[in-house]
Structure 1
Amino acid sequence: MTFDAREALRTAGILNGSESPEVAQALGILSREEVDMLVSLKGKISAALPEVLAHSLGNWTTPEATQQNFDPAMLCACAIWSGAGQNAS
């Protein structure tokens, strides 16, 4: 019998319902050790990151940056900080 990572994660209560094809594909290549690690972290993550977990459960309606009057199109401003895209003079 082959190891089924998705079924192991469902049994552990980490997955419920159906997942996108991309997620299903990614889960299909997880080893038993990787799944065991995810299962062992299940309770630890919720204890360590309650605010992040609350946001992931649907309580996060808008990014905080938009609440600070940032234009949503500018939320990834990596190039601004790194100087990328500047022409050499």
Structure 2
Amino acid sequence: MAFDPREALREAGILGGPVAEELQGAFATLSEEETNLLIALKNRIPAMLPEVLAHSAGVQWSRPEAAQHGFEPAMLCACGLWSGAGQN
């Protein structure tokens, strides 16, 4: 019997309900090792999350740091400035 990553992810509780066609295709290409890694992370991330949150107690997540310093939201992405794409 061939390994089916989608079925393994469903059994592990990672996939449930309908999944978009694009995701179905992406999950079908996972190797057994990649699938096992996702399953292991599913169990480890919630256990590590309290520690991560404890280290970020003073961080304000509601607004980007640049907005807190008075920059307009439209100016937060300066991709064109750095790449020169904004020059004609």
Runs of 4+ in 1 over 2 A off after TM superposition: 46-50, 68-71, 80-84
Give the TM-score normalised by the residue count of structure 1.
0.61
Counterpart CA distance in 2 for 1:47 and 1:84 is 44
Paired amino acid for 1:13: G
Give the TM-score normalised by the residue count of structure 2.
0.62
Considering only CA atoms, is the larger Rg found in Structure 1 or Structure 2? 2
Counterpart CA distance in 2 for 1:7 and 1:45 is 21
Moved more, 3-12 or 40-49: 40-49
Cα pair 2:5 2:30 within 8 Å, conserved = yes
State the superposition RMSD in angstroms: 2.8
**How far did residue 10 of structure 1 move?**
0.6
Cα pair 2:80 2:86 within 8 Å, conserved = no
Q: Which runs of 5 or more residues in structure 2 are unaligned?
A: 51-61
Secondary structure of the 2:26 match is helix
Counterpart CA distance in 2 for 1:84 and 1:35 is 41
| Same amino acid, percent of matched pairs | 39
Paired amino acid for 1:31: S
**1:70 match:** 73
Work out the number of aligned pairs and report it. Answer: 71
Q: Which runs of 5 or more residues in structure 1 are unaligned?
A: 51-62
